Structures are given as C-alpha cells and as structure tokens.
A and B are shown apart, each in its own frame.
Chain A
Amino acid sequence: MAFSRSLRILPFLKNINREQLFSVARTFHTQSVLSSQNITFEEKPEFPGSKSHYVHKLEYIQPELLEGIPVYRVMGRDGKIVDETQDPKLDKDTVIKMYKDMTLLNTMDRVLYESQRQGRISFYMTNYGEEGTHIGSAAALDPRDLVFGQYREAGVLMWRGFTLDQFMNQCYGNAGDVGKGRQMPVHYGSRDLNFITISSPLATQMPQAAGAAYAFKLKKNDLCVMCYFGEGAASEGDAHAAFNFAAVLDCPIIFFCRNNGYAISTPTKDQYKGDGIASRGAGYGMLTVRVDGNDAFAVYNATKTAREMAISQSRPVLIEAMTYRIGHHSTSDDSSAYRSVDEVSYWDKQDNPISRLRNYMVSQGYWNDDIEKEWKLESRKKVMNSFAAAENRKKPNPEELFHDVYEEMVPHIRRQMQEMKHHVLQYKEHYPLEHHEKMS
C-alpha cells in the first residue's frame, strides 16, 4: 500500500527540496523506481543505528591524534581571575563560607585521620586536595537537589549544613549517628540535606542517580540530581549503564567525576586509554566539560550552567574535574608505596584549592593572616569539641542490629533478636554491653 501511494505523489517531487526528497524517498523500496522517473540524488546511509554520511576512503579514527579536551579554569594559582567575563562575582559572604567550609573540612580530616592512627575510630578517608570540587559544586546547586556520592565528597555535606557532631557521630557509630552505627566511618547520609547515604560498592549510585533524576522529571519539580564518582569507579559497568540510561531517558542529572589521578594505587594510565572520562561524554550523547578541580570558581561556574541545562533541557551533563588526591587513599593505605613524596608535595604546595581561594580572598581584601590564624584556632576548637563529645557517647542499643532489615520486623528476625538478647544476657561478661545503650 505504501508503495502505490508513493507512486501517486511522484509528479510533485520536482518541486520539493532535497531534504524533503530524502524523507519521501524512504518510502520507495527500490532505487529503480526513482531512476525510472529520472530523479537523481546523492546516496545517504539510511541505517537506523546512526546518522551520518558515506565516505569512500578507508579511514580509522585515531584517538591519540585528537587533542585532549581542554581544562576550563577561572583563576590562576595566584588567585587572580584570568578572564573577567568568567568571574562568577560571588559575594563576600559566600566566598568566605566556601573558604571556611573547605578549611573546616581540612581540619576535621586531620583530627579524624590522627584519631584513626591512634585506634580511636576504625577507618577514615580524607579529602585533601579535592575540597574545591566539593564546595565549588555544592555552592552551585539548589539545596533541594538530590546528591548521590561515592565517599570523598564530605565537603558537599559540610556546605549543606551537616554538623561536626553528625560527622563525628557517624565515624564513631555511636547512638547519635542517624545511620544507627551500621556502616563504616565516612558513609554519611542525610534526609534533611537531600544527601543519599553513601555505600561502599563503587559506581552503584550512578545508575540509581539516573533513576532518581527520572523521578524528578516526572514530578516536574525543577530540581536535578547530582552524582559524584571517581575516575576509577567510572570503569565499572554501572557507570556505563548510568551514562547510557540518563542520556536515552532524558534525565536531568549532573555526573560529576573527580579525576584525582589514582584509584588506590592504580594510576590513570592503568585505568583507561582514552582522553580521561570527559571524552566518553559525547559517545553517550551527553553535554560535557572538563574543569580545573582545584579552582573552586571554575567548578562553581561549570556546575551552575550544568544545572540550568540539565533541568531546562532535561538531559544529563558530564563534568570531569581534574584534581589530585593529596592524601592516602584511606587509613588502610600508605601511598608512598606507589608514588613519590615529591609528586604529592607539588600538588599540596603549588596547586592547592584552599591556598588558591585564599589568594583570591586576600587580593579582594576579604582575608588576612590575622583572620586566618584566628579561624584556624576556632575551627580546631570546634572540631575537638565535637570529637570529644562523640567519643563519649555510647553506641546504640544492640537491638538496632535487627531493625530496618525490612520496614516491619518479620517473625524470623524477631526470633533471632530474642535469641541474641537471651544469649548475651546469659554470657554478659563476654560482650561489651557497657559501651552500648541498654537493651529493652
């Protein structure tokens, strides 16, 4: 039927333009129908899987010949704005809050890192060198935007108002922990601050974040989802699923990659062969940018526009923030086993997000050595107070082991809880009951 209809419209073809001709030509099943009417046009591939043109010379795309995606930056290492049109012109209070949150995080990192070395908490992961990616991006989000993280994004929570007590309670797994002491340290989460609780399996949060963004799209709430991950996690199958689902299903999401050069001991040369993570964006049909992760303003600008595009165009945006992991991977890692101290010291001393923002603030007259000294003392005192309070809190009631497996406590788990209580009371001298809140 389609064939005969097409024949009837043939006499009109001469009057329409080439683009229209192609779309009409699709309804013909053979070239001969066209040639019999003396109509010629350049052949174009009609394969459903891609849109492009034919070439008649064999040529392979050689990724190594392509220039790397450039790194967007706003201020130099001296804190001077390079191109005035790119100055986000944040007000003084905002800039000072950015700086204070970055440095408070840094102080908390030092205290908790040391406390782990002393065996007072079981595990810790610092954020050294990556504070700019956290604070710069968090400042550009709406606080109602939902955040899915990996584990090295504590600065986002700091920006949103997670208190030092909350950080410490989680690391100590005490009765003040909203997570009820069930997860390892640094696995933070907050319903009030729209930050989904961290889990250890890498990249699992990425396709989840795409799903949450789809839910936001259906709700038409004009919010987006922010999803952080490291360049190592980007090698997981879930990262592939996430990028593809988010693009195909038009999800308002920002994928924010912290490319800090290492996944534990694995350097990026063992992680991927292409041009970092950003080069993958276009392959999935995503808007993509690469930024200087040690430049909080560059991160801020990129995140702010990404957010606007993600929501207004309902599509994913990929940001790759180039940075350097100054600290060890975690307290279970000694990074001098696989990289030089000189290399680390370069990034710590020469290209650090905190000192760069301080340079900017000093140049603006917002900050000086006296204020710095005073803030250092004050922030350390705040951290130590929370630290002491968290250490002195008891751990949760052991019955919390059994709650929240399901929404309701199912009969066989209730039986097991009774067995545990019965057993522990019988052998109480062998269990650390004194460190926990009392069982009912």
Chain B
Amino acid sequence: MASTLRTIRVSSKLFRHLLPNASTTVAVRNATSFSYVPDTPPPEHGETTRMNLFQSVTNALDIALSKDPSAVIFGEDVAFGGVFRCTVGLKDKYGKERVFNSPLSEQGIVAFGIGLAAAGSTAIAEIQFADYIFPAFDQIRNEAAMFRYRTGNLFDVGGLTIRAPCGAVGHGALYHSQMPEAFFGHMPGIKVVIPRGPVQAKGLLMGCIQDPNPCIFFEPKILYRAAIEQVPTGDYSIPLSEAEVVLEGSDMTLIGWGTQVHVLREVATMAQEKLNISCELIDLRTILPWDIDTVCKSVVKTGKVLISHEAPITMGFASEIAATVQSECFLNLEAPIQRVCGYDTPFACAFEPFYMPDKWRCFEAVKKLLSY
C-alpha cells in the first residue's frame, strides 16, 4: 500500500506498437501510480475467484450471453479476444454469429447496436478506446439517447450497452487516455457508468446490460491488469445511480470515480496520517443519472468537499456536482468546493506526470479546505 511505483503488464496489440518492449513488464511513472486496494465482495454474492478487471468483464459478458440468447457482442477486433483481452474465449463458446468483428467504423458500431436493440436484441458494442467514441457521438446523442422519447415509447433501444476502455495509462497521450464522461453527462436518455475495480466492473456491467435504457460503460484501462481481487463467480449486479461510500469520515468528503477513487483513498490516508483529518470517500460509480442524495447527505455531515477527475476541469463533471452541492448544501458548506482535475489542455504524452490530478495535488486541496 505504501508503494508509489506500480507495475502493470501491457500486452495489447496497440501498445506493442507504442512501446518497444511492451510485452514484458513495464513501469508506470509516479504520477499515474496508485495503490490498488482490493474490494471485499459482499458475502451474499457467494463463491469467489481471483480476477483482474479484464477477466471480470469477460465473466460478466459470459454470463450475459449465457442468460440471454438474443445477446450479441461486436466491435473492432473482439472476435479473437479483444485488444485488451476482454472477450477471450467468448466467440468459441457462443459462436461467430454472437461474438463478431465489425468493420472499422465507430458510427457504424453504435448504430448497428441501436438497430439490434430496436429489433429486441441485447446489443453489447465495444468502442476500442473511449477516445474513438466521438465518431459515434451523433448516433449516441441524437439517436440512442432520444429513441424512446421521440417515439412516444413505441420503440426503445434499452437493450444497448456500449463498453469502452478509458482513462490515463501512463503513456497513452492524446488518443489513448481520454475520460469523456462529461460529454455524455449532458445527454438526457443515456446512462454513464464507470467502475473502480473488478467486483464493481462485473456488477455494474451486468447492471448496464440489464438496464432498460442505453448505457455507456467506461472501463479504466489501467486497471485491466493492475486491479486484482476476489470476484463472485455467480450472477450478480450492482444497481446504477447509486454512489458508494467507500470510507466513512467526518471532516471532509472526497468524490471521485474510476481510477481516481484509488488516488483519493491514498489522499484520505495521507490526510489522516499527516493532518489528522477524517475523510469520507465516495465512489460516484454512475455519472448519469448521478446519486445526488448520497453526495449531499455526506456534505451535510462534513461541510467540505473535494471532487477530483482526470478529465479537464472546465465543464468537467465536477462542475455539475459542485453546482448542485452548492445549491443543496449552501448552509452546510464551510469552505469553497475544491475541484482537482486535469488541466484544460489535450492529454500530452511526455507531460502526463504534470497533467494528472495526482495525490499531491489532491493533498494540497485537502490542506486548503482545512485551513479555509
């Protein structure tokens, strides 16, 4: 837990090209580092086995395909197992008509999924990197999000789930690092979900697949191999739109999602050790529709808030949370809401350590909140 240097194994097709020696173990630099603390799965979900995040995603997809004969998985390079190994073995198990490669076209992939869902199938589409979801923006915003509404509920595409790897990975630069959740947070009709580890990933992905609304599921790719824990092997799901209080505390509230939850957990430990501050840590989990009640209840108790995300600060989702908290908890706030986020620049390769909202930047914000 004290380690500041985390190692992850990267063997995706893409990163073989990016890195000269990527099939071996590589070190991730300080700024992207975090200590992964395994989740303890609730005992009611039964038997568990050790999985990393990509394995828990595969496990969820496996269960979804076995339960629902109409379910199909498609996207670029999913048939051989996916560039991040999330669909390994599924084509052999369920057949090439249910797990198949699509042509290389993101607008085509999402639209194809919309059509499948409109015809009553369960469509699980993969966009290879969240950075490449933008060609499908029109289909998501104008079509998927509005399908039920504009048809007067005659038709819907609730059977659609879009999965996409997201977030910083140490060396992904402009187009293999993005966190685009805020763009989708502005789209009534879509649900946007981001897990922080394998147990969460499986449960929330099952939640998305079963949800009667189109969902986007962003998987923090740095956790695919780095996050390992005991995951229930059975069929379970975690409800959407429910934040989780990961650590209880009384002096301030820290809010994050995805990998940033782990950064904030370390910040909470530092705050306790160095400043004798008790932090409450909230994993938002669902960006839209987000859990206003859990967040505000915490802020009413602590009176101070820090929100942190990797995406750029201006119009990032922290803005929405800050504005809502300010309006709902005005009398309880004892200091200005702190946002520690990415800078308003593209995500630059060589400068990732300086860009990231790392634990030191978050720790400094904690001190500000404390001394206000």
Contacts and interface: CB of A to CB of B under 8 A. Distances in A.
Q: Do A and B share a complex?
A: yes
A179 B103 CA distance: 34
Contacts of A177: 152
Contact of B111 (A183, A187, A197, A207): A207
B326 interface: no
B113 A211 contact: yes
Contacts of B293: 411
A411 B152 contact: no
Interface residues of B, number: 47
B119 A245 contact: no
Interface in B139-180: 139, 142-143, 146, 148-156, 158
Interface string A196-215: 11010100101111111111
B103 A204 contact: no
Interface in B312-329: none
Contact of A406 (B139, B142, B189): B189
Interface residues of A, number: 50
A252 to B, nearest CB: 12
Contact of B150 (A146, A179, A403): A179
Contact of A245 (B108, B146, B241): B108
B154 A179 contact: yes
A179 B147 CA distance: 11
A207 B116 contact: no
A216 B120 CA distance: 9
A413 B146 CA distance: 15
A214 B120 CA distance: 11
A190 interface: yes
B123 A197 contact: no
A245 B103 contact: yes
Contact of B105 (A189, A244, A413): A244
B151 A211 contact: no
Contacts of A282: none
Given A183-B150, A191-B154, A412 B289 contact: yes
Given A204-B142, A212-B116, A197 B107 contact: no
Contacts of B121: 215, 218
B102 interface: yes
Interface string A238-263: 10111011001100000000000000
B72 A182 contact: no
B241 A242 contact: no
Interface string B238-257: 00010000000000000000
A216 B119 contact: yes
B116 A201 contact: no
B212 interface: yes
Given A199-B142, A207-B111, A248-B103, A214 B116 contact: yes
B105 A241 contact: yes
A257 to B, nearest CB: 18
A207 B117 CA distance: 12
Given A179-B152, A196-B155, A197-B150, A242 B138 contact: no
Interface string A138-173: 000000001010000000000000000000000000
Contacts of B70: 215, 218
Contacts of B97: 217-218
Contacts of B139: 204, 207-208, 238
B353 interface: no
A71 to B, nearest CB: 30
Nearest to B146: A199
Contact of A196 (B72, B107, B118): B118
B103 A211 contact: no
Interface in B97-142: 97-98, 100, 102-103, 105, 107-108, 111-121, 123, 135, 138-139, 142
A287 interface: no
B298 interface: no
Contact of B112 (A180, A196, A210): A210
B152 A407 contact: no
A202 to B, nearest CB: 10
B115 A212 contact: yes
A238 B115 contact: no
A59 interface: no
A404 interface: yes
B142 A410 contact: no
Contact of A204 (B98, B102, B111, B153): B111
A245 B123 CA distance: 15
Given A208-B111, A208-B114, A211-B112, A197 B292 contact: no
A207 B107 contact: yes
Nearest to B141: A201
A63 interface: no
Contacts of A201: 138, 142-143
B346 interface: no
Nearest to B291: A411
Contacts of B213: 406-407
Of B112, B138, B158, B189, most A-chain CB atoms within 10 Å: B112
A241 B103 contact: yes
A408 B114 CA distance: 19
Nearest to B290: A412
Given A189-B154, A201-B142, A214-B112, A238 B103 contact: no
5 contacts: A197-B152, A207-B108, A207-B111, A412-B292, A413-B289
Identify the 5 closest CB pairs spanning chains A and B, nearest first. Answer: A211-B115, A241-B108, A207-B111, A215-B119, A208-B115
